[in-house]
């Protein structure tokens, strides 16, 4: 194996020798596939089915998807707290049950309020059964292979996005709306809750005594550390800009009359799947700071190709690059979080980071839509996205300043050299 750069600690080096952790790798990947595929990526098909079988309009039901995303980000801190009380495995089991019940509720929803409530339930289930609890278990149990296994699990989430929409659409057409959703609820129970039973438990935080005492103090120091919040801001902007642009690839291509937006979106998701798997491996070759700088550079280029270039081929390349940013950031951000701030407070910091990222991701499309309506094109909104990307870069640089700086008194923690 190629020796890792000095700014990637031994505890987080990517390792291809994961035979020792094959069970955790397989179970977490499948859980991410089913959870994110059902609770998040299937919402577009659910919304389309609800519109076709009711009198509700797109504008009335469209906000339910936003409510689902909002529920994910606002529930994240509570998920982190719950993990500390009952353990990550039980939270995953609970998340699968919430997803299943929410799917059944949506299948019977007849009013606009009940539809929104069901989508909020899907968001809460996605928060409990998705990234946070899965990554906490991986980091706690897989040692030097944690970075690589996080990448594999995140790849499962992306594959869930590829297969969820066409599978649910075919099921609705073949078996009917309510029967298809009943089957999806059963899959959620078997694919999330049942699989989670096979995962190892993570020791509850409980009352801080003995060796856990430093954990409590470390949590306070990190959450009051400006460098962590700088990292969270950089991550939030990176997630928000790349995620929003990816989700709008179909509509943007249609409005600009460049070509098939579905083809562009498929290209973006396909690249995202590959990049999630490869990102941990690149950290064996280049420092994390270099990988992050390259990713933000690719985002700037992709914004130009998607919103400025008049050629379809350029738009397609831009879509692939934005898929690279989405996939890479979903894996790189948790790895750098554990690298810079240590593993003891990974649960708390990851929950707070998702919370900040969710707020930014809700803010980005709102302002982008206002600027587009104001000017009638993407000129001003593209400049705004440029500025946000540069702000993300500045926030990351502040969080990973060049000179060594010890953030925690934990003897096993990482010294920042990125």
Q: Averaged over 391-398, what is the pLDDT?
A: 87
For 1-204, CATH number out of 3.40.50.150, 3.40.50.720, 1.20.900.10, 1.20.1250.20 equals: 1.20.1250.20
Dihedral of alpha carbons 363, 335, 147, 123, sign: negative
pLDDT digit string, tens, across residues 117-155: 998 899 898 888 888 888 888 888 887 777 788 888 888
Q: Do domains 1-204 and 217-402 have the same CATH topology?
A: yes
SS3 406: strand
- Please indicate, yes or no, whether the overall pTM of this predicted structure exceeds 0.85: no
The yes-or-no verdict on residue 411 having pLDDT over 60 is: no
Calculate ∠ Cα 225-226-231, nearest 5°: 105
Q: Which two tokens stand for residue 67?
A: 């409510």
What does the pLDDT average to over 240-252? 74
Extents of the domains making up the chain: 1-204, 217-402
pLDDT bin (cut points 50, 70, 90) of residue 97 is very high
* 89 contacts 136 by C-beta, under 8 angstroms: no
Report the SS3 class of residue 233.
Answer: helix
CA dihedral 311, 316, 321, 322 (to 10 degrees): 100
Tokens 């962590």 correspond to: 228
Q: Give the C-alpha separation, 140 to 87, whole Å.
A: 12
Residue of 198, 157, 138, 192 lying closest to 33 (CA atoms) = 157
Using the predicted structure, report yes or no on whether residue 314 has a pLDDT greater than 70. Answer: yes
Measured N-to-C along each axis, helices 346-375 and 131-141 cross at an angle, to the nearest 10 degrees, of 140
At 255-299, the pLDDT tens digits run 777 777 667 877 887 888 888 878 888 887 888 788 888 888 999
Render 245-284 in DSSP notation, one character per residue.
HHHTHHHHHHHHT-S-HHHHHHHHHHHHHHHHHHHHHHTT
Map residue 13 onto helix, strand or coil. coil
As beta bridge partners, residue 406 has 415
Average pLDDT score, the chain = 77
pLDDT in tens, 50-95: 877 877 776 677 667 767 877 887 888 888 888 888 888 899 999 9
d(Cα 361, Cα 341) in Å, to the nearest integer?
24
User: CA geometry: angle at 115 spanning 112 and 116, to 5°?
Assistant: 90
Buried-state track 212-246, b at ≥16 Cβ within 10 A, e below 16? eeebeebbeebeebebbbbbbbbbbbbbbbbbbbb
CATH homologous superfamily of 217-402 equals MFS general substrate transporter like domains (1.20.1250.20)
Q: What is the pLDDT of residue 379?
A: 80
Tokens found for residue 196: 């989670």
Whether the CA torsion 46, 48, 49, 53 is positive or negative: it is positive
Secondary structure (DSSP) of 338-390: HHHH-STTHHHHHHHHHHHHHHHHHHHHHHHHHHHHHHSSSHHHHHHHHHHHH
């Amino acid at each position: 194996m190629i020796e890792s750069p000095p700014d990637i600690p031994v505890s987080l080096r990517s390792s291809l020798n994961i035979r020792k952790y094959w069970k955790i790798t397989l179970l977490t990947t499948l859980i991410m596939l089913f959870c994110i595929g059902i609770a998040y990526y299937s919402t577009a098909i659910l919304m389309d089915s609800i519109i076709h079988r009711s009198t509700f309009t797109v504008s009335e039901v469209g906000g339910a998807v936003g409510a689902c995303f909002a529920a994910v980000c606002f529930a994240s801190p509570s998920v982190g707290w719950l993990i500390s009380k009952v353990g990550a495995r039980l939270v995953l089991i609970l998340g699968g049950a919430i997803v299943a019940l929410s799917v059944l509720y949506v299948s019977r929803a007849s009013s606009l309020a009940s539809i929104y409530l069901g989508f909020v339930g899907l968001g809460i289930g996605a928060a409990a059964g998705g990234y946070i609890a899965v990554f906490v278990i991986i980091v706690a149990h897989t040692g030097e292979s944690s970075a690589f296994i996080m990448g594999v699990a995140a790849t499962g989430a992306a594959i869930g996005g590829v297969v969820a929409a066409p599978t649910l659409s075919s099921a609705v057409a073949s078996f009917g709306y309510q029967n298809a959703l009943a089957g999806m609820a059963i899959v959620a129970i078997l694919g999330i809750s049942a699989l989670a039973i096979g995962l190892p438990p993570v020791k509850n935080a409980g009352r801080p005594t003995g060796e856990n005492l430093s954990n409590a103090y470390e949590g306070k120091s990190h959450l009051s550390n400006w460098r962590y919040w700088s990292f969270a801001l950089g991550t939030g902007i990176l997630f928000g800009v790349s995620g929003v642009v990816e989700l709008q690839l179909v509509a943007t291509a249609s409005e600009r009359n460049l070509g098939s937006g579905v083809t562009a979106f498929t290209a973006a998701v396909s690249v995202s799947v590959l990049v999630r798997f490869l990102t941990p491996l690149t950290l064996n070759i280049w420092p994390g700071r270099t990988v992050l700088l390259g990713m933000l550079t690719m985002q700037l280029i992709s914004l130009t190709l998607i919103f400025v270039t008049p050629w379809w081929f350029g738009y397609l390349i831009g879509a692939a690059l934005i898929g690279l940013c989405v996939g890479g950031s979903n894996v790189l951000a948790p790895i750098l979080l554990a690298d810079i701030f240590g593993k003891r407070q990974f649960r708390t910091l990851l929950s707070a980071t998702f919370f900040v990222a969710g707020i930014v991701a809700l803010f980005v499309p709102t302002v982008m839509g206002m600027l587009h309506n104001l000017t009638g094109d993407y000129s001003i909104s593209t400049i705004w996205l440029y500025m946000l990307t540069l702000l993300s870069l500045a926030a990351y640089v502040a969080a990973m300043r060049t000179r060594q700086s010890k953030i925690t008194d934990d003897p096993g923690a990482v010294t920042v050299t990125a």
